[in-house]
Chain A
Amino acid sequence: MRKVDYTSNKTNYRSDIVSAIKANDNGVLKSLYKANYYKVEGLVLKNNGTKDHAKDIYQDAFLAVWKNVQLDKFTPQNESSLHGYIYTIAKNKWMDYLRSKDYKKTIVSDEINDRNASLEDSETNSDDIIKEQRLTSVMQAFKDLGEPCKSLLRQFYFDKKSMKEIANELQLDAASTRNKKYRCMQKLREIALKIDK
């Protein structure tokens, strides 16, 4: 007879949602995106912002949350902790924006540091800043990469399609697809190196 595991619900949610996010599951990401948008929009609209502001801030926050889950910097314990986390990140980003307007770089204020000290724990040390800059360069490079390469790399690394699947779609054999993928990576790296300088 099978034993009932009463604790499994909790742990299942955790591993399910984390692995779905890590696998870039389209349905999960989309419903997560939709579930949390209105609250953030309400916050921004109530506080001097427009719908465009809300969208920008929210997408920024959503991407940051996704990154932190990918990098195991944040592991949600349940659904509401994940939702709360998205909202908090968005709120902090909007507060930063409100407090600085567009003049973020010119402000050096103890008050800001004091109030935000607890919020930005992962982005403060210099190592992380360098990593973040490199990541930004790669993201820009990928944006600029030509479509055939972009699509190939996206399918492989983001959609997590198998090499075989991609090869079928391209009507190539597996070895040529592998080579193509490698050449695309080299191209991406070259562009990123240029941006990084």
Chain B
Amino acid sequence: MNLSTNISQELLETVERYINQNMTSDELKTFEHKLESDSEFKVQVEDIKTLLFGIESQSLKEKLNSFHEDIHKDKTHNIRYLQFRKIAAAAVIILSIGSFWFFNQNSNDKLYANYFYPDPGLPTTMSSTNNYKFYEAMVNYKQGDYQTAISKWELLQHSKPNNDTLNYFIGVAHLADKNEQSAISFLEEVTKNSNFPLANDAYYYLGLAYLKTGNIDIARRNLLNSNSDKSKALLSELND
């Protein structure tokens, strides 16, 4: 707040009327004119708005914990929603099968070459967390030393077999290392979790891996599950 002048009670209440749209049309006209012509006035009004919004925001923030209290009491309805999502996803897949039949092996290799580039990876930081080993491997990955990265991540994976982040990067590293079959098995694992933050990328790379192995239908199916632009672009070229 950069204002040195005081806010009068009158101004406060005028601004409240303005925000709550309780002004007469004449008062509103005068008020808006002053807002445009008087920059100090404008700053004062902005400050009052910030004060009021801050009160509201903090009030809500302090309320959220009370909302949270009965959250783990009723958990069942959520499952039904997830079931619905699965059925919807299955419907999309079924619709997409059989829609397209023709493809050309050579042009698919070309497409793969045009579309494949390794995932940029996660930013690596000098951290002392227990994720150090994970990021150490990430450095290898970024340097293009995929096999070292994979072997380090696979060590971590023994203790965390279901970690989607690990599976994802092991998968994309295999793909970058031209080992499509291994990539597919890891990425398939990852795409079982539709909540994974990189799910779009996972489907994309899975699609690419299948494209490389010549399974165009399965490639399409996976690309359809990804919302990313590159996925859509690749799909449209596949359909041409």
Chain A residues proximal to chain B, CB less than 8 Å: 24, 29-30, 33-34, 37-39, 42-43, 46-48, 55, 59, 62-63, 66-67, 70, 91, 94-95, 98-103, 106-107, 109, 111-112, 114, 131, 134-135, 137-143, 153-154, 157-158, 178-179, 182, 185-186, 188-189, 192-193, 196
In the assembled complex, the CB of A51 is this many whole angstroms from the nearest CB of chain B, namely: 9
A-contact 0/1 string along B1-28, CB 8 Å cutoff: 1000011010011000000000000000
Q: Is B78 an interface residue (CB 8 A)?
A: yes
**CB atoms of A157 and B131 under 8 A apart:** no
**CB atoms of A46 and B68 under 8 A apart:** no
**Which residues B58-113 have CB closer than 8 A to chain A?**
58-65, 67-68, 70-71, 75, 78, 81
Can you list 12 residue pairs at the A/B interface with Cβ under 8 Å?
A48-B165, A63-B60, A94-B197, A99-B122, A101-B131, A111-B120, A138-B55, A143-B62, A157-B55, A158-B59, A178-B13, A182-B9
Q: Is B161 an interface residue (CB 8 A)?
A: no
**CB atoms of B64 and A63 under 8 A apart:** yes
| In-complex Cβ contact of A112 among B53, B67, B123 (8 A) | B123
**CB atoms of A106 and B59 under 8 A apart:** no
Contacts of B63 in A (CB 8 A): 29
**CB atoms of A192 and B54 under 8 A apart:** yes
| In-complex Cβ contact of B51 among A42, A101, A178, A192 (8 A) | A192
| In-complex Cβ contact of A100 among B51, B54, B123 (8 A) | B123
| In-complex Cβ contact of B125 among A103, A158, A178, A188 (8 A) | A103
Contacts of B78 in A (CB 8 A): 38-39, 42
Q: Cα distance A179–B9 when bound, in Å?
A: 8
| A155 nearest CB neighbor, chain B only | B59
| In-complex Cβ contact of A43 among B47, B53, B121, B195 (8 A) | B195
Q: A39-B78, A48-B163 are in contact. List 14 more A-B contacts (CB 8 A).
A: A37-B68, A43-B195, A63-B57, A98-B122, A101-B125, A106-B125, A111-B123, A134-B47, A134-B50, A135-B54, A142-B54, A154-B55, A182-B12, A188-B51
With A29-B60, A30-B67 known to touch, is A47 a contact of B196 (CB < 8 Å)?
Answer: yes
Contacts of A24 in B (CB 8 A): 56, 59-60
Q: Is B155 an interface residue (CB 8 A)?
A: no
Among all A-B residue pairs, the 7 with the closest Cβ atoms: A138-B54, A158-B59, A43-B195, A38-B78, A139-B58, A109-B123, A142-B58
Chain B residues proximal to chain A, CB less than 8 Å: 1, 6-7, 9, 12-13, 47, 50-65, 67-68, 70-71, 75, 78, 81, 120-123, 125-127, 129, 131, 163-165, 193, 195-197
**CB atoms of B123 and A91 under 8 A apart:** no
With A98-B197, A131-B50, A188-B51 known to touch, is A59 a contact of B61 (CB < 8 Å)?
Answer: yes
